[in-house]
């Protein structure tokens, strides 16, 4: 096969990993196919900024049995591989033609995790040392990789990720027999955390992970608990969520045995988790601020910030003249940008009317029930 044809097929298989893609829906709106056959993704990188990224696997061959994944050992995918030299040269060629923000490289497990990691880190090393590329490189860490392989990836990358997949071993067991949750996933996540910790040599390297939502039978409350640990104890940069779609995996996993759920509800669950993630990262919400239904699920009918406001009526109204940043961020309709505008404005001029802070009408209507002058 021609290199471009191989890359086209491998890049399509990379769509199942959202650890660098923006948006919450697995739709064509979030993937743009280039005219020369490769797939280019619009992304928001964990450290900030947006752009177009080349996103591909280096091989879709896999010896793992991840039952939710269409690329698993017993899957029917056509197995293709490209070499690190081929991928690096192709990426540099595309960079000369297009304004790319970087490259995201992942892989199936070829023979062993470290064999796959060798392919990924060799690609990054060729880009860094042969082509002197100083741009963004995201390397996907393979579960079960050795500490040495993880360390080499961190030393070459701008960002690394390893999918946590489920919130705990109990929910992971139905999904794989070949991977061990604690040793293959949790231990490498802890190592990534220590290598990229504040004050360390690689503190500028972003670390992300992803939950496969609904492949197992985990409740949202369990995901929220693990999210809090990933941010509060391991200090990860970003968490992503991928709603599992029936028909991709093996028929015996919980996600395939569940009653049919409308796709809009699957994506809405994913969206509520993204909203919760944003509240943790940017609004100062703590784990005990989230209110789940008795079955552990997030309320699909209301965003989690609105749920908190409805549960805490005594907190309101909040004074626009005197409230702290943390208090203002609890107001439905007020986000970090508007709160900063309010704080900046009142440092210069007392707020006398709501119109003075130039809030969009739909947000003003929402916030007006919770604020006062």
Contact 70, 249 (CB under 8 A): yes
Cα–Cα distances (Å) from 168 to 83, 240, 299, in that order, read: 35, 16, 22
Query: What are the beta bridge partners of residue 318?
Result: 371
> Does residue 363 surpass a pLDDT of 90?
no
pLDDT at 22: 41
254-311 pLDDT per residue, tens: 998 888 888 888 889 999 999 999 999 999 999 999 999 999 999 999 999 999 999 9
Q: Where are the domains of the chain?
A: 3-304, 313-372
Chosen CATH of 313-372 out of 1.20.140.10, 3.40.50.2300, 1.10.150.320, 2.60.120.430? 1.10.150.320
> Does residue 29 surpass a pLDDT of 60?
no
pLDDT at 20: 45
Helix (H) or strand (E) holding 32: strand 32-33
pLDDT confidence of 313, banded at 50, 70, 90? very high
CA–CA distance, 128 with 118 (Å, rounded to integer): 15
CA–CA distance, 303 with 283 (Å, rounded to integer): 14
pLDDT at 289: 97
Q: Which CATH architecture has domain 3-304?
A: Alpha-Beta Barrel (3.20)
What token pair was written down for 87? 């991928």
Gyration radius from the chain CA atoms:
22
């Amino acid at each position: 096969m021609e290199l471009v044809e191989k890359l086209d097929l491998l890049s399509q298989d990379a769509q199942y990993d959202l650890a660098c893609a923006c948006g919450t829906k697995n739709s064509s709106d979030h993937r743009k196919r280039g005219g020369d056959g490769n797939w280019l993704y619009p992304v928001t990188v964990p450290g900030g900024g947006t752009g177009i990224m080349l996103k591909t696997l280096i091989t879709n061959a896999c010896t793992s049995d991840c039952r939710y994944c269409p690329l698993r050992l017993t899957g029917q995918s056509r197995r293709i591989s490209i070499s690190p030299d081929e991928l690096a040269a192709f990426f540099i060629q595309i960079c000369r033609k297009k304004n790319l923000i970087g490259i995201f490289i992942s892989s199936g497990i070829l023979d062993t995790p470290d064999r796959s990691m060798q392919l990924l880190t060799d690609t990054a090393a060729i880009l860094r040392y042969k082509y002197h590329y100083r741009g963004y490189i995201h390397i996907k860490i393979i579960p079960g990789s050795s500490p040495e392989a993880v360390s080499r990836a961190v030393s070459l990358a701008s960002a690394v990720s390893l999918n946590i997949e489920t919130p705990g071993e109990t929910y992971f067991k139905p999904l794989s027999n070949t991977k061990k949750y604690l040793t293959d996933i949790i231990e490498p996540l802890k190592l990534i955390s220590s290598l990229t910790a504040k004050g360390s040599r690689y503190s500028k390297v972003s670390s992300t992970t992803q939950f496969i939502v609904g492949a197992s039978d985990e409740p949202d409350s369990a995901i929220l608990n693990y999210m809090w640990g990933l941010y509060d104890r391991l200090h990860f940069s970003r968490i992503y969520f991928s709603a599992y779609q029936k028909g991709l995996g093996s028929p015996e996993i919980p996600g395939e045995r569940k009653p049919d759920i409308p796709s809009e509800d699957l994506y809405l669950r994913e969206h509520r988790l993204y909203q919760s993630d944003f509240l943790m990262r940017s609004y100062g919400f703590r784990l005990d601020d989230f209110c789940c239904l008795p079955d552990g699920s997030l309320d699909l009918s209301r965003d989690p910030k609105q749920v908190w406001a409805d549960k805490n009526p005594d907190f309101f109204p909040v004074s626009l003249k005197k409230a702290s940043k943390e208090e203002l961020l609890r107001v439905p309709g007020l986000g970090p940008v508007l709160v900063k505008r309010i704080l900046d404005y009142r440092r210069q001029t007392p707020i006398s009317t709501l119109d003075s802070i130039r809030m969009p009408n739909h947000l003003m209507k929402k916030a007006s029930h919770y604020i006062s002058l």
